[in-house]
Structure 1
Amino acid sequence: MMQQGSSSSFWSLGAVIPHFSLNRSGSGSPKRHPVLQEFETKLVEKFDALKEAGEELGFLSIDWLLQALSVVLSTHSSVEALIPNLTFPLSNRDDKWVDEYLDDSAKLLDVCNVLKEGISELEQYQMLVQVAIRNLQVKECGKDANFYRARNALHDCLAAIKMKDTEYKQGHARSKLESCSSMLRTMGEKLVNPKVMEAVKGNGFLNAIYGAKVTTIFLCGLVVIALACKPKRPLVNLHVSNQCLWASSLLSLQQRVKEETDKRKNKGSIALLRELDNVDVLVRRLYEVVDKKVNERSLFTNTQDSEQLSFLVEELACTSQNLGRGLAPLEECVNELFRLLIASRIALLDLLSSAKEK
């Protein structure tokens, strides 16, 4: 069950691209702790590398999303590594951020489960595509049953995409991905920049948490967009502190992703995940050809029809392979994020327990 009513759910995800803007102020930034300096410098490098990879691989392609999730994982690993070295006392004044950290990380554990379900849905879709391909690759042209099975599998593929596209309309319960979207929107509206003194407490842990918040909202939110069809939510407007070294790199990356996704939407793409969109286009074309021939009871008896069918089938086989090969690694990344969240919670709870015993 998704947890509701949190005052600060920074780990929530959603089927939207958050819009980040710099929050500029005239106050000078305090001197950074070396650990925080290293954390933020690496985050700048990762955002810049993601932007460059997007130009090469395509934003919202599976390979790019895997690289984006690797940034999320490394950011969480860095935060976990900072916990044992906290240097400021865990007094009653610190209860708020501790509670928020534990509450928000618990929400992300739920969200990881939602993401895994979304990936599982794509795996089932991929299995239907493979059923159609196998039946259409059968050499014996006289086996009409293969064409009927292929048509039924392709029809189920189209129905699955249509359901994802319409499940938010009247009369349909909100999907779990849509619930994540609502959580992200609420969280984005309540996200607060670290105060100057809080930002440098201890070894910069609170500022590192802030960096992890924004990184997770943005990049994992893109994974949700990719798993959903035609995101319904408007952009979330988040304000990123200009005290963060990585702010401008994040804004630049976000702008490029927004440009590309807007372009895809304007072209009428149902799926923003590139590989899924490519497969969907071919599934539609192949279904039209097979359905027409089945209805006409002229099951590809001439050479021209057979060549057209073979071409479409082989193109779909190649394209669906690109989709299928990325789903397992994507799920592995989500599982690793789940593990890191558990490890961070245990590390912080152990630290709290030790502090109370002293």
Structure 2
Amino acid sequence: MRPSCSLLRRTSSLRLTLSPKLAPSPVAPWPPVRTAFDRWLMSELDELRLVPFSVSRYTSGNWLAKALDLTFAVQRMTVRLLATPAGQSATHGDRKLIEGYADGVVELLDACNGLRERMGELRKYTGSLYAASHFLDQDPRQERISSGVAARATVALAECEATEKRCDELDKLRDFNWRKLGEEIAGNAEVLAPAHNHQASTDASTAELREALSGTLAMTQLAVAATWIAVSFKTRRGLPAVQQPGRQASGWTGKLRDLHKAVKEEFEKRRRGGAAVLDELEAAAFCVRSLRRAVAHGDGREVGMSVRLARRSGPELEERTRSLGQKVDQVYRQLIRMRVMLLDKLTQLSLI
């Protein structure tokens, strides 16, 4: 006996109703397991990105000092991890990673050396600005400056111009391969991705050490590159891109990407306007240009106003240069320590 049409419709309807329930449901991914290093660096990067030191916070010397401070703190944590038992238990499978870290440190050391040279040039710049201001320091009621004073000030201001040219030449000579270093950091972070999976068999402390090494190189790259661009008079180089791994390896990579984007936008505004990125450097450069125009006009009152500006801008740049130079030295010394420890690891592996 043939089933009725109504029975067929009911059976078909029941099948359609039940089939989604009978289909296997997708397995929800496990949440990533964050290391202590990852959680700490995520928090620090958030603070570094959001605290408004000024309207253009990323172009202030104060912000750059904070970025270098964080870099030094990340390095210290990594050095401590290198000294732990996990840091001493490297295997032959880790050789390529360790070699990559050691090579990255060399490139960052070279960049820090370039920054140390730049700080020396900026000290000369402020010295020449002081000299020009001293020669031109006179009674503001005097309407004209003498030819002798103008000649001495012109020589000092010419030294400022010569320093700007030397810094420009340094920018051309020291063409750091930031992109290559960024790709190496991203490659190392990709290797670390399984460490955040609940099925990972990698020892947790070893995974954290590797993650700290990648985070240290990435943070150092950003801070050193940003400082280098900021203390250039007319940089032709933009902030190097943050190379991201194929998979999201850890939370700090996303936070670092967000910070990089915010800093890059502020830097590009200055670069498009033809100004120095660092607030204190641009203020001093403006004073040099003002003094040069005032001397050329021979107007005593105009000179007096420019000298007063220089008296404020010169010490601010000198203090900022001194502070940033000290922090770059700290980063440089800690990089040397990291490289020595990494080379020791490679030596140990060659003896196994």
* TMscore range, shorter length: 0.7 to 0.9
- Give the structure 2 partner of residue 68 of structure 1: 67
Is residue 2:296 matched to residue 1:291?
yes
- Give the structure 1 partner of residue 98 of structure 2: 98
Contact 1:48 1:249 in 2 (8 A): yes
Q: Which residue identity lines up with residue 36 of structure 2 in the other structure?
A: E
- Give the structure 2 partner of residue 219 of structure 1: 223
Is residue 2:314 matched to residue 1:316?
no
Deviations 1:164-190 (A, max 9, x none): 45x48xxxx9322xx22xx11222344
- Give the structure 1 partner of residue 256 of structure 2: 250
- Give the structure 2 partner of residue 208 of structure 1: 212
Instruction: Tell me the distance in 2 between the aligned counterparts of 1:235 and 1:110.
Output: 17
Instruction: Tell me the distance in 2 between the aligned counterparts of 1:350 and 1:309.
Output: 60
Deviates more, 1:109-118 or 1:196-205: 196-205
Instruction: Tell me the distance in 2 between the aligned counterparts of 1:325 and 1:51.
Output: 24
Number of paired residues? 308
Q: Which residue identity lines up with residue 315 of structure 1 in the other structure?
A: L
Change (3 A) 1:201 1:226: farther
- Give the structure 2 partner of residue 261 of structure 1: 267
Q: Which residue identity lines up with residue 197 of structure 1 in the other structure?
A: P
- Give the structure 2 partner of residue 9 of structure 1: none
Change (3 A) 1:208 1:319: same
Question: Which ranges of structure 1 fall in alignment gaps of 5 or more residues?
Answer: 1-25, 294-304
Instruction: Tell me the distance in 1 between the aligned counterparts of 2:162 and 2:111.
Output: 25
TM-aligned CA deviation for residue 353 of structure 1: 5.8
Contact 1:194 1:207 in 2 (8 A): no
Contact 1:286 1:313 in 2 (8 A): yes
State the superposition RMSD in angstroms: 2.9
Change (3 A) 1:256 1:235: closer
- Give the structure 1 partner of residue 33 of structure 2: 31
Contact 2:90 2:345 in 1 (8 A): no
Larger RCO, structure (CA 8 Å, separation 6 or more): 1
Contact 2:235 2:271 in 1 (8 A): no
Instruction: Tell me the distance in 2 between the aligned counterparts of 1:117 and 1:138.
Output: 34
TM-aligned CA deviation for residue 144 of structure 1: 4.2
- Give the structure 1 partner of residue 4 of structure 2: none
Instruction: Tell me the distance in 2 between the aligned counterparts of 1:128 and 1:121.
Output: 11
Contact 1:47 1:249 in 2 (8 A): yes
Q: Rg larger in 1 or in 2?
A: 2
Q: Which residue identity lines up with residue 246 of structure 1 in the other structure?
A: W
Instruction: Tell me the distance in 1 between the aligned counterparts of 2:166 and 2:346.
Output: 47
Change (3 A) 1:78 1:265: same
Deviates more, 1:60-69 or 1:102-111: 102-111
- Give the structure 1 partner of residue 281 of structure 2: 276
TM-aligned CA deviation for residue 328 of structure 1: 1.5
Contact 1:158 1:284 in 2 (8 A): no
Q: Which residue identity lines up with residue 76 of structure 2 in the other structure?
A: S
Instruction: Tell me the distance in 2 between the aligned counterparts of 1:228 and 1:131.
Output: 22
TM-aligned CA deviation for residue 72 of structure 1: 0.7
Deviates more, 1:330-339 or 1:344-353: 344-353
Change (3 A) 1:318 1:234: closer
Instruction: Tell me the distance in 1 between the aligned counterparts of 2:180 and 2:345.
Output: 30
